[in-house]
Amino acid sequence: MQKNLYSLILTDDVIKEIDAIAASQGTNRSNLVNQILAEYVSYVTPEKKINSIFSAISELLDNGVFSSFFEPHDTTMSLKSSLDYKYRPTIKYEVELYRLARETVGELKVIFRTQSAELLMELTRFFKLWVHLENIYLSHFYPPNSITYNLDAGRFYRSFRVPLGKQYTTDAIASAIGNYIKMFDEILKGYLSNEYATTTQIENRYLYYLNSGMDII
């Protein structure tokens, strides 16, 4: 959504109150005025849509497994989950949504900080296996290479994209992202605890979720 510069004549007292509210919400004067006017004319801004998606994801994953955090009007939310592995390290999921989303609506960052060479090796193996499974089973939902992956020091990236011919509502995007993180987290923990010790067990669990009717993203 394109933004332009407009001139408005407002009283000092109004601006004082606007600035106070903006500061309390962690935003600025222009964004707050834009939101107020958008609500007045019943227009859903990208920021409001993203905020609604994050709120729905947080509610969906409010099951004691995840702790979530996001600032109002921000484009990124964080979720933390403890791994079932020796000293119970924490893994963080960061969901970034794009304001000007089209087919690709955002990305997931899986952030892990550990000095354990053994855990790093296991995580790297899991991420590579995960990409391999998705390249097999999601290929008919998307054009080739339209979902991007990247693995670097302490981070695994995966883009979120709406399948070909689909138009997801705000609720559907929230449900798809929330269930994807829930699936990913459960299978990762099962792998590290040896509940899903083989590639076949991981694949079968992945297909269980995929065939359960969850939205693909």
CA–CA separation, 204 and 199 (whole Å): 9
Packed helices 12-24 and 29-40: angle between N→C axes, nearest 10 degrees = 100
Q: Is the pTM of this model over 0.95?
A: no
Based on the domain organization, do 20 and 126 belong to the same domain? Answer: no
Both 117 and 15 in one domain: the answer is: no
Amino acid identity at 217: I
Whether residue 28 sits in one domain with residue 51: no
Answer yes or no: is 5 within a domain: no
Give the residue ranges of the chain where pLDDT is below 50. none
Examine the domain organization and report whether 81 and 29 are in the same domain: no
Residue 215 lies in a domain: no
**Encoded tokens for 68:** 């979530």
**Which range marks the domain in which residue 22 is found?**
10-43
Q: Is there a contact between 179 and 215 (Cβ–Cβ < 8 Å)?
A: yes
Residue 52 and residue 39 share a domain: no
The reply to whether 137 and 33 lie within a common domain is: no
Task: Establish if 50 belongs to a structural domain.
Answer: yes
55, two tokens: 């709120």
Same-domain check for residues 18 and 60: no
Would you say residue 194 lies in a domain? yes
Residue 120 has phi, psi (to 5 degrees) of: -60, -40
Question: Are 91 and 145 found together in one domain?
Answer: yes
pLDDT of residue 27: 80
Report if residue 217 sits inside a domain. Answer: no
The secondary structure of residue 216, as a DSSP letter, is P
Domain membership of residue 109 (yes or no) is yes
As for how many domains the chain has, the answer is 2
Let me know whether 39 and 107 are in one domain. no
Please tell me the predicted confidence (pLDDT) of residue 145: 86
Cα 77 to Cα 59, 60, 172, 214: the distances in Å are 13, 14, 17, 21
Kindly state whether residues 63 and 24 are assigned to the same domain: no
What pLDDT digit, counting tens, does each position of 186-206 carry?
999 999 999 999 999 999 999
